[in-house]
Amino acid sequence: MTLDQSTRIIQQLDLILEEERDALLRGDLSQIVALMLKKEQLVDALNALSATASGDLIAVQGKLSRNQALLDGALQGIRTVAARLAAHRRIRRSLDTYDQNGHKRSIPGDIAHHLEKRA
């Protein structure tokens, strides 16, 4: 493989990384998955090359690090939302409070599982 081929692959990878960044900022998870497959193919092709342009690789490395930080933040946000939803479900089942003496008291939640029809 030639230096021109490696430069072309690096440019394609650069474009994919920009698209991935935009998808991460929009929260478009389906596009992120599709771009990940393309990115893996380009990285594999780049790894198979013997000659690469080191300056171009440094720029791509920076974008890879940036996107990884965005992805880590998105995953942390998803985990936070999941924990918050789990806390809301627990509160709906029962609410734990403390009385004036510091004793824990559990108040059972009243969840209605019926449908009311109105005419």
Q: Domains of the chain: which residue ranges?
A: 3-97
Please check the confidence at residue 1 and state whether its pLDDT lies above 60. Answer: no
| Confidence at residue 45, expressed as pLDDT on a 0 to 100 scale | 85
For 28-70, the pLDDT digits (tens) are 889 999 999 999 998 888 888 765 656 677 888 889 899 999 9
Inter-helix orientation angle 3-26/54-93, to 10°:
20
| Both structure tokens of 69 | 């930080």
Give me the residues paired with residue 95 across strands. Answer: 107
3-state helix, strand, coil in the chain (%, to 5): 70, 10, 20
| Both structure tokens of 62 | 């920076």
Residue 89 identity: R
Q: What whole-number distance in Å separates Cα of residue 4 and Cα of residue 68?
A: 27
Place 2 in a pLDDT band, splitting at 50, 70 and 90: low
